[in-house]
Structure 1
Amino acid sequence: MKKYLLLTMGLALSACATSPDKIKAEYVPDTAYASLSCQQLGESELKQADTVSQLYNSQRRAHKTDTWTVLAVGVPLSGMLDEDKKEQFAREKGKLDAIHRVQAAKSCPGTNNS
């Protein structure tokens, strides 16, 4: 009986929303941003960083909620409530990475290569 309970809890926890710190960025080609000027890249970076921050916080809440609901009732809720934003977060992180790569390649002010 204990083995069954531990197995069930383990499976439920594995179905939880992933911690945002463990989600890797999805690759986004630099070509999506290559035609932008440094000023446009800077504006895009600010907007994209805000989007990533919002998704990070949303994913963190989903992860915490799942952890607690699994412990309380044995079921992760984020998937059922469409709160798990793992794929969207990974894609948006990838866009921000692409912006940073293009900024560095163009030696835009404020980048590590300037």
Structure 2
Amino acid sequence: MKNAFLTLFAIAALSSCAKRPDAIAPTAFPVETYANLECQEINTSLTTEQGTLAALSAAQSSAANTDAVGVLLLGIPVASLTDGDKEGMIAVSKGKVQALEAARIRKGC
């Protein structure tokens, strides 16, 4: 019984850990959002969003590392419990990057 409890606790703790940035799927973002932009505006927005994604990804990697250590030492995903998980923001940012890249291709930029 004790082993079953420990196993269930470990599974629960690990399932709530912050994901690695590369494991986060992008949110669907309509390309039409950027249809009215000129090439210069698309390129500027893309550069800005790529910077945002890089910063969020760095924070998410740190949160995932913190969670791994927290689960190992304390049995709890510390970063996920303290708003360190940026999964939603990364998904949106990835979706924006994909939409901007598609818009750039459509415009021939």
- The normalised TM-score by structure 1 is 0.90
Instruction: Name the residue aligned to 2:108.
Output: 107
Instruction: Name the residue aligned to 2:49.
Output: 48
Instruction: Name the residue aligned to 2:15.
Output: 14
1:1-114 to structure 2, matched below 5 A, reads 1-108=2-109
Q: Please report how far the alpha carbon of residue 10 of structure 1 lies from its aligned counterpart in structure 2 after TM superposition.
A: 1.3
Structure 1: gaps of 5 or more residues: 109-114
- The normalised TM-score by structure 2 is 0.94
Q: Distance in 1 between matches of 2:23 and 2:81?
A: 21
Deviations 1:11-53 (A, max 9, x none): 1010111111110100111121111111111111110000000
RMSD: 0.9
Moved over 2 A (4+): none
Which structure has the highest helix share of the two? Answer: 2
Deviations 1:84-113 (A, max 9, x none): 0100110011001000000011111xxxxx
Q: Distance in 2 between matches of 1:46 and 1:64?
A: 27
Structure 2: gaps of 5 or more residues: none
Identity between Structure 1 and Structure 2 (%): 34
